[in-house]
Amino acid sequence: QSALTQPASVSGSPGQSITISCTGTSNDVGYYEYVSWYQQHPGKAPKLLIYDVNNRPSGVSHRFSGSKSGNTASLTISGLQAEDEADFYCSSYTTRSAWVFGGGTKLTVL
Partner 1 sequence: QVQLQESGPGRVKPSQTLSLTCTVSGASIRNRDYYWSWIRQPPGKGLEWIGYIYDTGNTYYNPSLKSRVNLSMDTSKNQFSLNLNSVTAADSAVYYCARVKLVEVPSWFDTWGQGTLVTVSS
Of 14, 15, 57, 79, the one binding partner 1 (CB under 8 A) is 57
Of 32, 56, 60, 72, the one binding partner 1 (CB under 8 A) is 32
Q: Least separation, in Å, of the C-beta of 83 and partner 1?
A: 19
Burial class of residue 56 (count of CB atoms within 10 Å of its CB; 0-12, 13-18, 19+): middle
Whose Cβ is closer to partner 1: residue 48's or residue 76's? 48
Considering only residues 91 to 110 of the shown chain, the ones binding partner 1 according to CB under 8 A are 91, 93, 96-104
Question: In the complex, which residues of this chain contact partner 1 (CB under 8 A)?
Answer: 1, 3, 32, 34, 36, 38, 44-48, 51-52, 57, 89, 91, 93, 96-104
